[in-house]
A and B are shown apart, each in its own frame.
Chain A
Amino acid sequence: MGALPQLVVSTLLLGGIYALIAVGLTLIFGIMRVVNFAHGEFLMLGMYLAFWSFSLWRLDPYVVLVVALPVFFVVGLLSYWLVMKGVIKASHNVQIFTTVGLSIALQNVALVLWTGDYRFVRPWHASEVVRLGGAALNLSQIVAFAVAVAFTGGLMAFMKFTHAGRVMRATAEDREAATLMGIDTERVYRLAWTIGIVCVGVAGVLLSPVYTVYPQAGLQFVLLAYVVVVLGGLGDMRGALFGSLIVAAVETVGAYTLGIAWKEVLYFVLFILVLVFRPAGLFGQRGAETLGM
């Protein structure tokens, strides 16, 4: 198996990026009980932020990364105030229509503003090949992986060890009990949404040198992210991390052995198997998803 090192390394790199996308999705779901169908569109916005910064001012995506944090913090807050705040206590149907509507709106705004052209961000590191024990990859992928893992790890540590993280988990487990502790749960939802959006926006910037930028670019990733989140157990961040690696492995190995056209088929088969046999996720406890774990 001469290809084994390449497959392992590719799986890891891909998995790291998927994790950053999925972790924001699972955070928003776990705390707010809202499936954010517009998640991919925020990824797309991150990609466009990187594209325009690169083509207008020659800014490297890694410089843009620093700007992306405050930018997506504001984007997250605005989208919460303008869109999510009004439906936070509404039924699931209303929430689904709201985020699907947001998704369509953002896609079409991007289409109108920036056309449907495929765009590329090609900084020097995108073509810098690194050889690692029999595997070849470009530098952009490695940096994207490192930043994504650092971000995901940082977020998990934040959730576990800080007071704000405890407050968020408590709100997910029992909203009314959290209120009785003096917790402003509305603020917690706003924070969860915003952090989720920052994660996926950053992921968009990181992905821009590796993938094509266009208005529907978010879709392919967010479908994956749903698979990852269900695999790991809804709302479970550690599960999302493992789920990302599993989906990345299926995709990488499948593309290598059966051909690239089969990769979606494979992970959707996996998705269906999980839904049939372990609906609470590979690592989840049954019923825990309703408690926001």
Chain B
Amino acid sequence: MSAPVAEHGRRDGALLRLEGVDAFYGDLQALHAVAFEVYEREIAAVVGANAAGKTTTLRVISGTLPSRTGRVIFQGRDLADVPAHRRVDLGIVQVPEGRRLFPFMTVLENLLLGAHTPAARAARDGTLEEVYALFPVLADRRVQLAGSLSGGEQQMLAIGRALMARPRLLMLDEPTLGLAPVFVKRIFEIVRTINERGVTVLLVEQNVRQALALAHRACVLENGRLTLAGPAQAVLADDRLKRAYLGL
């Protein structure tokens, strides 16, 4: 953790801190004592094979899955008593895996729903202009049903909808899964742009090489345990990363 990249944003302190998080689906333990930090204005990546616990980690942070032990601390505040929908007020916004749009509602309706918290609603019209500027295709398709968009467009809508909430921490769960290469590149560019505008990003990806090229720091999950963490470049170079994927 001594590489210069690790210092990125650290002056501002940890925006998000996980401490010893255990999470279960019924009796099945999905996370074992997971602990890491995300710093202001950085892009942090969580990588790992299928079923390593990446999505579970995001669900614990967004509050849709309670952690059994351990703590999630956001801006110095323990989130244990904050229900999932209240965490959006704090600025924690998740783009879920598989996008989870409202398919029978229009593109515009999906975007407007993103701005549900009082603060986001107050700034709604301005944010909508920003999102349209970032994704012109959404402006063109605003009256279409979300379910009728292509996969790449749907992912853009999912990100746009999340931006409507004016997040401090934007969590993206496999945003490039199943997309054509041209869209994969575009999504990564957009994530960088969003981050450059001051939004902290926590990115979960299977697309390891590209995710680590984009991220400042990264951690690797393996069977629900954190096995490697550090500057993204260092993680990318580490042999243990291959082991995490290939099980060698």
Residues of A that sit less than 8 Å from B by CB? 163, 166-167, 169-170, 173-174, 176-185, 288, 291, 293
Are A167 and B96 within 8 A (Cβ)? no
Are B64 and A173 within 8 A (Cβ)? no
Kindly state the separation between the CA atoms of A167 and B116 in the bound complex, as whole angstroms. 8
Query: B113 on the interface (CB 8 Å rule)?
Result: yes
> Which residues of B lie under 8 Å from residue A288 when comparing CB positions?
104
The 8 Å CB contact of B64, one of A169, A180, A293, is A180
Q: Which chain A residue has the least Cβ–Cβ distance from B100?
A: A177
The 8 Å CB contact of A183, one of B62, B85, B121, is B85
Stretch from B9-17, B29-37, B86-94, B125-133 at the A interface: B86-94
Are A180 and B103 within 8 A (Cβ)? no
The 8 Å CB contact of A182, one of B64, B101, B105, B117, is B117
Are A176 and B100 within 8 A (Cβ)? yes
CB distance from A67 to the nearest CB of B (A): 33
Contacts A181-B114, A182-B117 known; A174 to B88 CB distance under 8 Å? Answer: no
Are B104 and A291 within 8 A (Cβ)? yes
- Give 12 pairs: A residue, B residue, CB < 8 Å, sorted on A: A166-B112, A169-B102, A173-B102, A180-B64, A180-B94, A181-B113, A182-B85, A182-B117, A183-B85, A183-B116, A185-B85, A293-B104
Kindly state the separation between the CA atoms of A163 and B103 in the bound complex, as whole angstroms. 17
Are B64 and A179 within 8 A (Cβ)? yes
The 8 Å CB contact of A181, one of B83, B86, B104, B116, is B116
Are A176 and B64 within 8 A (Cβ)? yes
Known: A163-B116, A173-B102, A179-B85. 16 other contacts (CB 8 A): A166-B112, A166-B113, A169-B105, A170-B102, A180-B62, A180-B84, A181-B85, A181-B88, A181-B114, A182-B85, A182-B86, A182-B89, A182-B165, A183-B85, A184-B83, A291-B104
Kindly state the separation between the CA atoms of A166 and B121 in the bound complex, as whole angstroms. 14
Kindly state the separation between the CA atoms of A176 and B98 in the bound complex, as whole angstroms. 12
Mostly, the A contact residues are helix
Are B116 and A182 within 8 A (Cβ)? yes
CB distance from A284 to the nearest CB of B (A): 11
Are A177 and B104 within 8 A (Cβ)? no
> Which residues of A lie under 8 Å from residue B41 when comparing CB positions?
none
CB distance from B106 to the nearest CB of A (A): 10
> Which residues of B lie under 8 Å from residue A184 when comparing CB positions?
83, 85
Are B105 and A181 within 8 A (Cβ)? no
> Which residues of B lie under 8 Å from residue A181 when comparing CB positions?
85, 88, 113-114, 116, 161, 165
Query: B109 on the interface (CB 8 Å rule)?
Result: yes
Kindly state the separation between the CA atoms of A249 and B117 in the bound complex, as whole angstroms. 46
CB distance from A104 to the nearest CB of B (A): 35
Kindly state the separation between the CA atoms of A263 and B62 in the bound complex, as whole angstroms. 54
Q: Which chain B residue has the least Cβ–Cβ distance from A285?
A: B104
- Residue from B89, B105, B121 with most neighbouring chain A CB atoms (10 Å): B105
> Which residues of A lie under 8 Å from residue B116 when comparing CB positions?
163, 167, 181-183
Contacts A177-B101, A180-B64 known; A167 to B85 CB distance under 8 Å? Answer: no
Are A182 and B88 within 8 A (Cβ)? yes
> Which residues of A lie under 8 Å from residue B83 when comparing CB positions?
184
> Which residues of B lie under 8 Å from residue A180 when comparing CB positions?
62, 64, 84, 88, 93-94, 96, 100
Kindly state the separation between the CA atoms of A261 and B89 in the bound complex, as whole angstroms. 59
The 8 Å CB contact of A177, one of B89, B96, B109, B120, is B96
CB distance from B167 to the nearest CB of A (A): 11
> Which residues of B lie under 8 Å from residue A178 when comparing CB positions?
113
Kindly state the separation between the CA atoms of A185 and B109 in the bound complex, as whole angstroms. 18
Are B64 and A174 within 8 A (Cβ)? no
Kindly state the separation between the CA atoms of A163 and B62 in the bound complex, as whole angstroms. 23
Q: Which chain B residue has the least Cβ–Cβ distance from A185?
A: B85
Instruction: Kindly list the 4 A-B residue pairs having the minimum CB-CB distance in the complex, ordered from nearest.
Output: A182-B88, A177-B100, A173-B102, A182-B116
